[in-house]
Amino acid sequence: MAKRIYAFGGGTAEGSRDMKNELGGKGAGLAEMAAIGLPVPPGFTITTGTCAEWVAAGEKLPRGLDREIRAALGRVERLTGKVFGSRGNPLLLSVRSGARVSMPGMMDTVLNLGLNDEAVEGLAARSGNARFAWDSYRRFCAMFGDVVLGMKPERKEDRDPFAELLEAKKAALGVRHDHELPVEALKALVGEFKEAIRARKGIDLPADPFEQLLLSVGAVFRSWQNDRAIAYRKLNGIPGSWGTAVNVQAMVFGNLGEDSGTGVAFTRNPATGEDEFYGEFLVDAQGEDVVAGVRTPQKVSEMEARWPEIARQLLSVRSTLERHFREMQDIEFTVERGTLYVLQTRTGKRTGLAATRIAVEMAEKRLITREEALLRVEPEALNHLLRPIFDAERKAEAIRGGRLLARGLPAGPGAASGRVVFFAEDAQAWKARGEPVLLARHETSPEDIRGMAAAEGFLTAFGGMTSHAALVARQMGKVAIVGCEALSFDYHARTLTVATATGPRTFAEGDWLSIDGMAGEVIEGRLPTRPSEVVQVLVERSRAPEDAPTYRRFATLLGWADQARRLGVRANADQPDQADASVAFGAEGIGLCRTEHMFFGEGKIGPMREMIVAETEAQRRAALAKLLPLQREDFAGIFRHMAPRPVTVRTLDPPLHEFLPQDEAGVAELARATGQPVARVRERIAELHEANPMLGHRGCRLGISYPEITEMQARAIFEAACDVAAEGLAVRPEVMIPLVGAVAELDHQAATVRRVAEEVFRERGRRVRYLVGTMIEVPRGAVTAGKIAGTAEFFSFGTNDLTQTAFGLSRDDTGPVLAAYLEKEIWPVDPFVSIDREGVGALMELAVRGGRAARPGLKMGICGEHGGDPSSIEFCHQLGLDYVSCSPYRLPIARLAAAQAALREKAAARPAAKAAARRRTPRRPASRRRPRGKARRARR
């Protein structure tokens, strides 16, 4: 039978940091810290496998576990000199959950376990502090009642039932903070808590400590299955089968008076990444008081003045942990009567801004390698560096105009304006109606997670930089301000009141507010935003790189990525200004220039419409002749801006009626331009109507019906190419024929393109190198790719259409299907976001093999939306494509994702080298080495 319990504390540990799968992140971190000699209260971890056993046995603790727990408790008793269940000298425990990956606040914790009416007296006598003993007891009653007995709020407007009793008590006594309650009040509260449990649940709080312990262990396992844990797992793609571990640990007490306290800290600033110790603590407080925002805490940088010795020790813990884990850590600590304990360490969550800075600075200081730095930044996190900020002038004007309402802690960078709502459900509902919302609450909790995902940003009255709202903001990349104490809420009336310098101001649900997550400022009304520092340097060129430290770190990281990656990156861009932005963000070419977007430009839609409603070839040619010079200018602009890089131009693709006027005025205008009666134009529009345009007269089918359209486009491309080449620039056009399912379609179109190319070259007296290729975007094209490659000089996977046609589901109609399919886990992810490797991916693989067999070295890329999705990019790397093409603003993400794909492949290919690298890190007994199965899984 597998070992179920791993002990830690007293300078050693049975587990290690490599055992996250078995011990969960928290258990592995506690074991590692104990083993390297950090002050960790002793305890033990019950494995995630035991949780799986519990689930398999129909939610029952496995036989024999109670004996194993008793044995492990014996060790904790010896190390602490206290006795579990004793009246005179009771050992109290914390029971905490901890899954493989950190799920902040998702799972529940019970503190001070082991207390009952007798033990509380013993604790009071032994500590000489009755207030402390009863404070601990009331906390235990509330946590046990909540976590184990399920005493939750009944309606969304309600607060937690215990919190309500606590608030009432404070109000009755006229005190503001929990720790100001006198011992008599705490005793009364314990009575009221127990009474509330009896009234709602019909049972008594169990007095037997061991029964409390077993029930709590079961409750932690059950919390793995609660709604909010499930919601979090869904949002983050965590499998339900993993289970959670349980950590049972001796309590240490931060609520023992002025020489005690509790805190949380990051080894670097999690918002900016600055190399400074960053955290908060509360004097005379316990457990989650800091995170829950009971009082707004003090900064650890201010600890020096109060507790110089502890401050020094903490700094040394900080550097020990960073050197040992070679990563920014997020820690929890408690000070009990002047002695420091560390209760948790884990990799700290951070904003994209901070992630980039920390990775680059750690690599520059040689704490980690460049490869590690690249692997540490989530590609999506680079979005944070591109996120808008408020237009400085408009913001200053708003502030001068008295619209600055309040300041709070800047917990999530960026700028957001939205309509304020007070409940997570409302945030979801309003967002679904297309309204941008800000979620404002007293504090947030894990129940709010879905609503938080829907909001542009969050605003809370309580809590610090390590509160739930702040953590989630950093993780989701939302704008957030927390600990904004000027706010108060009336959830029933759905209003928010801000205490401003000029008196209180009240806002109702739906009012516009703006929040600056960099400055921590809450501003009345709606404000326009401006591009980020990176965009100012690269795209607007309104700021010099020397004055842009964020830009410089961004550029350094991406420079390393460019050295590491094998995939090329191109942009999907249709206009010269987009071409500029693409080059600025690192595009090595254009992978998709959609000609149809050009037709909506100045002066073009008119002739385009005339062309479409034309009834004879002669009429059509007349309209096309008007379009030719316009289109030639567009192409020339793009070629000029992209030179000497390749530009892939796709010939006309969408169904024609998409270009036609929908309104009466437009129809009348078109009638005037074509000299046709209005009725006839209307008739012609009706004729062009298609039952299912997505599968209709579009793509190469248009060019086959009306070769003169392809002719005009080819002429525009080659004339532009010759003109720009004549300016001395290198032009590399690649003409791409869409929606090809049979080689004969491509043959037809390619012949037209090549014929026109020769005509133009003759006329202009110069030649330009060019390619003719095709999109692979219908299953038949993928299956017959070998034949198609006989004509095509390149392939570009149009994975939007390929996904639609492979699934037989129109992307525009996925809404209702998608919601149900994701909910019921029929699809693991939205296949329009991330390539469905099993189906669509198999078609791509077939096409790659067929294409390269027929034409070795055939150039291949992807230009669907998936080209900017990190997981799809990794797949394209594995397929051996030459490049991915995505929208300009996703290029940084693509460059980093491509580098990561290459690095992961390299790591997988050299297990021997990897083992050697591991041997260089601190020695560890063989039994603690990472099992081989996991190493293999981790790579996937």
Least separation in angstroms between residue 252's CB and ligand ADP is 4
Is 460 within 8 Å of 496 (Cβ atoms)? no
Stretch that binds Mg ion, among 143-151, 157-165, 184-192, 793-801 (CB under 5 A): 793-801
Q: Is 765 helix (H, G, I), strand (E, B) or coil?
A: coil
Nearer to ligand ADP, 105 or 145 (CB): 105
Least separation in angstroms between residue 291's CB and ligand ADP is 6
Nearer to Mg ion, 9 or 798 (CB): 798
Nearer to ligand ADP, 101 or 673 (CB): 101
109-113, strands of its sheet edge to edge: 12-13, 5-9, 43-46, 244-250, 93-99, 109-113
Rounded Cα gap, residues 342 and 385, in angstroms: 33
414 binds, among Mg ion, ligand ADP, none (CB under 5 to 8 A by kind): none
Q: Which two tokens stand for residue 169?
A: 């008590």
Q: Is the dihedral of CA 491, 492, 494, 495 positive or negative?
A: negative
Least separation in angstroms between residue 555's CB and Mg ion is 34
Interaction residues for Mg ion, span 759-778 (CB under 5 A): 777
Q: Is 521 helix (H, G, I), strand (E, B) or coil?
A: strand
632 binds, among Mg ion, ligand ADP, none (CB under 5 to 8 A by kind): none
Quick one: DSSP state of residue 808? T
29 binds, among ligand ADP, Mg ion, none (CB under 5 to 8 A by kind): none
Residues at the site binding ligand ADP, with contacts judged by CB under 6 A: 41, 94, 96, 105, 109, 111, 249-252, 287-288, 332, 334, 343-344
Nearer to ligand ADP, 9 or 864 (CB): 9
Is 446 near Mg ion (CB under 5 A)? no
Nearer to ligand ADP, 106 or 737 (CB): 106
Nearer to ligand ADP, 287 or 591 (CB): 287
Alpha helices in 543-616 (DSSP H): 549-564, 576-584, 595-598, 605-613
* Tokens 């799972």 sit on residue: 107
If we measure between CA atoms, which residue out of 519, 482, 274, 478 comes closest to residue 387? 478
If we measure between CA atoms, which residue out of 254, 766, 228, 758 comes closest to residue 449? 228
Nearer to Mg ion, 798 or 892 (CB): 798
Is 791 near Mg ion (CB under 5 A)? no
785 binds, among Mg ion, ligand ADP, none (CB under 5 to 8 A by kind): none
Nearer to Mg ion, 327 or 801 (CB): 801
Rg of the chain, C-alpha, whole Å: 32
Q: If you write DSSP's letter for every residue of 384-412 in order, what string do you get? A: HHH--EE-HHHHHHHHHTT-EEEE-EEEE
Least separation in angstroms between residue 98's CB and Mg ion is 8
Catalytic-labelled residue, pool 384, 468, 641, 748: 468
96 binds, among Mg ion, ligand ADP, none (CB under 5 to 8 A by kind): ligand ADP
Least separation in angstroms between residue 108's CB and Mg ion is 11
Nearer to ligand ADP, 219 or 712 (CB): 219
Catalytic-labelled residue, pool 863, 866, 877, 886: 863
Strands 521-524 and 512-516: antiparallel
How many CB atoms lie under 10 A from the CB of residue 754?
14
Least separation in angstroms between residue 253's CB and ligand ADP is 7
Question: 801, 865, 874, 882: which one contacts Mg ion (CB under 5 A)?
Answer: 801
State yes or no: is 877 an active-site residue.
no
Least separation in angstroms between residue 335's CB and ligand ADP is 11
Q: Is 712 helix (H, G, I), strand (E, B) or coil?
A: helix
334 binds, among Mg ion, ligand ADP, none (CB under 5 to 8 A by kind): ligand ADP
Quick one: DSSP state of residue 83? B
Q: Please give the residue whose beta carbon sits closest to ligand ADP in the complex.
A: 96
Q: Is the dihedral of CA 356, 359, 363, 364 positive or negative?
A: positive
Alpha helices in 365-476 (DSSP H): 370-376, 383-386, 392-400, 424-432, 449-454, 468-476
* Residue 912 φ/ψ, nearest 5 degrees: -65, -45
How many CB atoms lie under 10 A from the CB of residue 759?
14
Alpha helices in 569-616 (DSSP H): 576-584, 595-598, 605-613
801 binds, among ligand ADP, Mg ion, none (CB under 5 to 8 A by kind): Mg ion
Distances (CA, A) of 619 to 624, 625, 652, 660: 9, 10, 19, 17
Long-range pairs of 571-575 with CB within 8 A, sequence gap ≥ 24: 571/885, 571/886, 571/887, 571/888, 571/891, 572/863, 572/867, 572/885, 572/886, 572/887, 572/888, 573/638, 573/887, 573/888, 574/598, 574/638, 575/601, 575/634, 575/637, 575/638
The number of CA neighbours under 13 Å toward the Cβ of 214 is 18
- Secondary element (H or E) of residue 325: helix 308-325
Is 798 near Mg ion (CB under 5 A)? yes
If we measure between CA atoms, which residue out of 341, 338, 350 comes closest to residue 267? 350
Q: Which two tokens stand for residue 435?
A: 């309204």
Q: What is the 3-state secondary structure (H, E, C) of 227-294?
A: HHHHHHHHHHCCCHHHCEEEEEEECCCCCCCCCCEEEEEECCCCCCCCCCCEEEEEECCCCCHHHHCC
Least separation in angstroms between residue 177's CB and ligand ADP is 17
Least separation in angstroms between residue 92's CB and ligand ADP is 8
Least separation in angstroms between residue 725's CB and Mg ion is 29
Least separation in angstroms between residue 360's CB and Mg ion is 28
State yes or no: is 697 an active-site residue.
no
Is 473 within 8 Å of 408 (Cβ atoms)? no
Is 147 within 8 Å of 105 (Cβ atoms)? no
Least separation in angstroms between residue 49's CB and ligand ADP is 20
Least separation in angstroms between residue 200's CB and ligand ADP is 24
352 binds, among Mg ion, ligand ADP, none (CB under 5 to 8 A by kind): none
798 binds, among ligand ADP, Mg ion, none (CB under 5 to 8 A by kind): Mg ion
Rounded Cα gap, residues 611 and 599, in angstroms: 11
251 binds, among ligand ADP, Mg ion, none (CB under 5 to 8 A by kind): ligand ADP
Interaction residues for Mg ion, span 339-358 (CB under 5 A): 344
Nearer to ligand ADP, 344 or 752 (CB): 344
249 binds, among Mg ion, ligand ADP, none (CB under 5 to 8 A by kind): ligand ADP
Rounded Cα gap, residues 936 and 940, in angstroms: 7
* Residue 299 φ/ψ, nearest 5 degrees: -80, 145
288 binds, among Mg ion, ligand ADP, none (CB under 5 to 8 A by kind): ligand ADP
Q: How many chain residues touch Mg ion (CB under 5 A)?
A: 4
Nearer to ligand ADP, 96 or 859 (CB): 96
| Helix count and strand count (H, E) for the chain | 39, 32
477 binds, among ligand ADP, Mg ion, none (CB under 5 to 8 A by kind): none
The neighbouring-strand residues paired with 571 are: 590, 886
Give the interface with Mg ion as residue ranges (CB under 5 A): 344, 777, 798, 801
Residues involved in catalysis = 468, 863
